[in-house]
Structure 1
Amino acid sequence: MASFQKLPSGNWRVLIRAKGHKSISATFSSEKLAKAFAKEKERQLEEIKATGRTAAPKGSTVAHYIDDYLNYIQHGRTLQRSALFIYKALKERFGKIGIERLSKSHLDSFIEARKKEGVQGQTIAGDLSLLSTILRYCYDVKHLDVDADMADKARKSLKSNHKLRIKSREVECVPTQSEIDAIIGVFATKKRQIINMPQLIRFGLFTSMRQSEICNIRIEDLDWENKTVVIRDRKHPNEKMGNNETVPLLPSAWTIVEEWVGTRTAGPIFPYNPKSVSVAFSRARDQSSVTRPVRFHDLRHKAITDFFGIGLNVPQVALMSGHRDWQTLKRYTHVKASDVHTAYNALNIKQQDAKHLSEQVDWLVQQMGEMRGAQA
């Protein structure tokens, strides 16, 4: 079924012919790789013969099946905007490639290109995961002759690449107060700055909201009596649309809201583009004395850390930050030995105060009893 030819260049070409299928041809740097490829393809062809797989129609591209998949699911579920954005990017990257011609080399090139763009491994893995969904759809639903596991294998291979970091950045970039002051100080020199970044930075520190949440909260969603605001479609690990949460605004945050709203009765409280906020923050950081890659999003990390520092418990902080997994919040606690002593001393003082108050109440009751006895 497979034939091999050594080329003048020293590479090896493999040609696979099977009845009812298009011929498959590929070139490799060694005979070993060519034979391994042929063995895998022959296995796939045997599986296709047993399961009734079919070849994709002539001219079918990756873009075609991305659109086909999105149409297929549109009545059953709603994708997040981030997923739709990734699918659009995948169409631009792989769209013109025939679905059956998509190969490991295409994915390797994609990974290398994304690395050069400075994209983290977690993001690349997410892109490949969505591409894997398309290939699995082609295999399971359309019964096409494709390698359904190709993108998934590429995604898993990232874990063995020590040069590519898979885990998202942890909270080691929790900004210090001096770093925040340095960044805010840069905006004092920007007379033409449209966005009031100092106030947005402070609001982020007082609420732990993401920049997208800050820019999307509306005046209509404020509860002026209870000092709360509704965050609509808040980020959620499973779904986002319809995930509305009412969160309290602490006094410092509420003061900023009152200043910004003024006499307005509707519209965004902070009418800015979230991307513009992020860019303005990063530019100011680069112009300041801050050397670490602090982002606007890192203000959220500091806010959560500060919430624990003032004594809020895990459920209370989770309500503020929107975290579903309380285990995730453990990394923000930053408990030190001195914190334990401080907490113990504070608790001891409260207990002593309670004991003293109890003694005072007992004494007062005793005095009132004696007074009643004397009057009788």
Structure 2
Amino acid sequence: MDFAEEKERQLEEIRATGKMVAPDGTTVAHYIDDYLEYIQNGRTLQRSALFIYKSLKARFGKIRIEKLSKHHLSAFIEDRKREGVQGVTIAGDLSMLSSVLRHCSETRYLNIDPDLADMSRKSIKTEHKLRIKSREVECVPTQSELDAIISQYDGRKRQEIDMPTIIEFALATSMRQSEICRLEIEDLNHEAKTVLIRQRKHPTEKEYNDETVPLLPKAWAIVERVVAGRISGFIFPYNPKSVSTSYTRARQTAGIKRPTRFHDIRHKAISDFFAMGLNVPQVALMSGHKDWQTLKRYTHVKPSDVHVAHGALSDKMEDTKSINENMSVMAAQIAELLAISGK
């Protein structure tokens, strides 16, 4: 059967049943490639997403698309479990495979089960006894821990990365180390005191977004000090992985037992923004989060913080009340003087 006859057969089958049998020789790998080509029209996937699709091709690629079964996916979950992979990561892999299967069913009209990967993902917790909900991060560094870590860099010669400044900047901005190390001098706006973060990670979609964010006074002062007359290039020309590794080594050398990571500075910074009195939309602009449900994982507000905030608000209200009372007295006095001068 030639190409034209095969296409006509497929169209007739779709008209009759709404679905068609996958063409001979087409595999899971074929349709992963087809899906990627379909969705990347006008958008760029993150390298991490492309890596996962590559891994899925290596695992399932030779299987004919209509032969993919629950048994294949269950074996995949168990293999990943033995490798020590967390349930939330496995669920993410299956979610991406589910997107491919839905594409096959809804866009290519293949007669397959589009819910196969979703059903296997739901079995991770019940049948495979793995957590599929990410744990709340509790290793937010304290200021004393950060001071101890920073002190490990004192007096070091031939220090390639200015880690104290990087840590200070992360606290002032809540940026990830990958974002910090991608900032370019040309993207600074000296009048507005902002910087463009290129290819910023989107919290829910596997794509990049450019986003302009404000640099508060402390962060702007750091940038001015670091740039020091340069007009182009990276503000912090370091490898993000090296930054993370250096932080971890300094933490260990400082004798800090809690496994806080460089990324956890971001949690502290966001909590500090709320303590300053910034609202949710303002903090979301700084951190790059798109909704409160995602952002709240990074907040670590204590009961004492609420008391402090309430006290500050009460003081402000008392000050406002006092100012209003003084203004009323002054207005009355001015009116009395005007009345006297008019006599």
Measured in 2, the distance between the counterparts of 1:342 and 1:295 equals 28
Verify: 1:312 aligned to 2:251, yes or no: no
1:114 aligns with 2:80: yes
Distance in 2 of aligned mates of 1:70 and 1:323: 26
Matched, 1:198 2:164: yes
**Counterpart in the other structure of 2:198:** 232
- Structure number with greater Rg is 1
Q: Deviations over 1:220-244 (max 9, x none)?
A: 1211122211223333345576733
1:155 to 121, 125, 142: 121
Is 2:35 aligned against 1:69?
A: yes
Query: Secondary structure at 2:199's aligned position in 1?
Result: coil
Take 2:212 and 2:43, find their aligned partners in 1: how far apart are those partners?
25
Question: Which secondary structure state, in structure 2, belongs to the residue aligned with residue 225 of structure 1?
Answer: coil
197, 202, 215: which one aligns with 2:181: 215
- Which residue matches 1:346? 312
Aligned runs of 1:139-178 on 2, under 5 Å?
139-144=105-110, 146-160=112-126, 163-178=129-144
The separation in 2 between residues aligned to 1:367 and 1:312, in whole angstroms, is 39
Question: How many residues matched?
Answer: 327
Supply the distance in 2 between the matched residues of 1:156 and 1:111 (Cα, whole angstroms). 11
CA contact (8 A) 2:94 2:118 kept: yes
Report 1:352-363 matches (<5 A): 352-363=318-329
Amino acid across the alignment from 2:278: L
**Map of 1:54 onto structure 2:** 21
Answer yes or no: is the 8 Å Cα contact 2:22–2:65 preserved in 1.
Answer: no
The residue identity in structure 2 corresponding to 1:90 is: L
Which of these residues, 205, 224, 227, is aligned with residue 261 of structure 1?
227
* Separation in structure 2 between the aligned mates of residue 178 and residue 154 of structure 1, nearest angstrom: 45
Greater RCO (CA < 8 Å, at least 6 residues apart): 2
Aligned to 1:13: none
TM-score with structure 2 length normalisation? 0.80
The answer for the alignment partner of 1:277 in structure 2 is 243
Matched to 2:260, the amino acid is V
Identify if the C-alpha distance between structure 1 residues 113 and 177 changes in structure 2 by more than 3 Å, giving closer, same or farther: farther
1:91 aligns with 2:57: yes
Query: Unaligned 5+ residue runs, structure 1?
Result: 1-48
CA–CA distance in structure 2, aligned partners of residues 224 and 371 of structure 1: 49
Rounded to whole Å, the distance in 1 between the matches of 2:50 and 2:317 is 56
The 1:96–1:332 alpha-carbon spacing in structure 2 relative to 1, beyond 3 Å, is closer
Instruction: Point out where structure 2 has 5 or more consecutive residues left out of the alignment.
Output: 1-15
Partner Cα separation in structure 2 for residue 99 and residue 374 of structure 1 = 96
Q: CA deviation at 1:79?
A: 3.3
Worse overlay, 181-190 or 131-140: 181-190
Structure 1 vs Structure 2 CA RMSD = 3.2
Offset at 1:307? 0.9
Where 2:277 maps in the other structure, the secondary structure is coil
Q: CA deviation at 1:314?
A: 1.9
Instruction: Select between 310-319 and 239-248 the one with higher mean Cα deviation.
Output: 239-248
Q: 1:197–1:277: 8 Å Cα contact kept in structure 2?
A: yes
Farther off after superposition, 122-131 or 327-336: 327-336
Higher mean alpha-carbon deviation, 342-351 vs 259-268, is at 342-351
